[in-house]
Amino acid sequence: MPALLLLSAVFVIGFERFVEWRYGAPGSIGVLLICIGAKAKSPACAGVGATLLTLAVLAPVAAA
């Protein structure tokens, strides 16, 4: 069980670092809000995070 928790923590931190590297601070804040919304069972918080992450992902495409 501890190995599974460690593996999932490493995956989540790695994914968050990738998003921050690729999409900057707005992408990282979006992932954080999605995680907080899922943990607190708040669809509004998760929706705001998903919207922010979507805008961060689509912003470079719209600028090109």
pLDDT per residue over 10-56, tens digit each? 888 888 888 888 888 888 888 889 989 999 999 999 999 999 988 88
* Residue 63: HSE in the Cβ half-sphere, 13 Å Cα cutoff: 6
Taking the model in full, what pTM does it have?
0.70
Q: Which of 10, 54, 63 is nearest to 29 (CA)?
A: 54
Q: What is the rounded distance in angstroms from the CA atom of residue 42 to the CA atom of residue 7?
A: 26
Q: Do residues 38 and 46 make contact, with C-beta atoms less than 8 angstroms apart?
A: yes
Six-digit token pair at 45? 């918080």
pLDDT of residue 63: 53
